[in-house]
């Protein structure tokens, strides 16, 4: 089954660079500004958009993202609006949108129904931080039925057996968590990231992107020197919080400068 995300990564690799994946939460600070900010991400050079579903118990998210998602929920965000946002963005830009969501909202909505509605809206897949492949049979079936990518997470603490299961069941890329803990910009991206990517590629992964803690062009350059791509979240959410879509555009342009590194 073809993967649009893998195609984008492969095209970037052919050009001698990794990809930049930018995260923003849906509906923050309101639906229209969220749409404008996502379009700004694309137009400023992000290769893949990671669109977060606001959730009341975001165990993996740091303070910046928690505040934004809580504000979105407080403003009345509902899951059905996710598809409206995706439609509005994909009508303007062609950057693939992968939704990042905890699993409970999908179960409540209906797994196959969600997959169908995501595909119809123009989304290309899901990142599921709290769903492991062993417990994902319903999602694997639905994503296959609707032609969607599925991105599972790999952590430095994962056994080789767990990493193989993650690689086998992921489509699009494997999300390598560079640090143990919650998301958020850090002064140094954990050295464990490189070791984890080495383990994943040694076990057969061909598309691995690194997230958690990346906040500047130098870190993007470093990560894309050994991984398929760099994922940036909290830094972009902070820019949106402070300066709106214009801030997102500026922050993205600065991060894109780190993609100039040519991989060996």
Q: Are 17 and 262 in contact (CB under 8 A)?
A: yes
The single residue listed with the structure tokens 């694997």 is: 140
Q: Note the helical H segments in the chain.
A: 4-14, 31-43, 63-74, 79-90, 103-109, 111-121, 137-146, 160-169, 192-202, 217-223, 234-256
For residues 241 and 249, give the distance between their C-alpha atoms in angstroms, rounded to a whole number: 13
Whether the Cβ atoms of residue 149 and residue 5 lie closer than 8 Å to each other:
yes
* 146 three-class SS: helix
Please identify which of the residues 6, 36, 43, 50 carries the catalytic annotation. 50
Identify the CA nearest to 232 among candidates 208, 256, 262, 207.
Answer: 256
Provide CB contacts within 8 A for 156, sequence distance 6+: 177, 180, 190, 192, 195, 196
When computed from its CA atoms, the radius of gyration of the chain, rounded to whole angstroms, is 17
Q: Reply yes or no on whether 120 is catalytic.
A: no
Q: Is 50 a catalytic residue?
A: yes
Report which of 169, 122, 116, 172 is spatially closest to residue 142, judged by C-alpha positions. 116
| Catalytic residue selected from 11, 15, 36, 61 | 61
Structure tokens at 6: 């893998």
At residue 145, what are phi and psi to the nearest 5 degrees? -65, -35
| Residues identified as active-site | 50, 61
């Amino acid at each position: 089954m073809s993967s649009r995300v893998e195609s984008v990564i492969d095209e970037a690799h052919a050009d001698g660079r990794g990809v930049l994946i930018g995260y923003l939460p849906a509906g923050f600070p309101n639906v229209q500004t969220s749409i404008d900010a996502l379009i700004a991400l694309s137009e400023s050079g992000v290769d893949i958009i990671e669109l977060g579903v606001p959730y009341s118990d975001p165990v993996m998210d740091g303070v910046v993202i928690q505040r934004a998602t809580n504000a979105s929920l407080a403003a009345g965000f509902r899951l059905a609006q996710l598809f409206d946002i995706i439609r509005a963005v994909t009508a303007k830009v062609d950057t693939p949108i992968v939704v990042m969501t905890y699993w409970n909202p999908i179960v409540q909505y209906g797994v196959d129904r969600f997959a169908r509605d995501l595909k119809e809206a123009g989304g290309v897949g899901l990142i599921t931080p709290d769903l492991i492949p062993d417990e994902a049979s319903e999602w694997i079936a639905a994503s296959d039925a609707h032609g969607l990518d599925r991105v599972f997470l790999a952590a430095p603490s994962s056994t080789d057996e767990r990493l193989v299961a993650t690689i086998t069941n992921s489509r699009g890329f494997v999300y390598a968590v560079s640090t143990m803990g919650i998301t958020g910009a850090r002064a140094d991206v954990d050295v464990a990231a490189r070791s984890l990517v080495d383990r994943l590629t040694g076990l057969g992964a061909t598309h691995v992107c690194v997230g958690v803690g990346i906040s500047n062009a130098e870190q993007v350059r470093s990560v894309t020197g050994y991984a398929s791509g760099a994922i940036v979240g909290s830094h972009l959410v902070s820019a949106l919080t402070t300066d709106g879509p214009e801030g997102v555009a500026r922050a993205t342009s600065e991060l894109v400068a780190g993609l100039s590194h040519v991989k060996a």
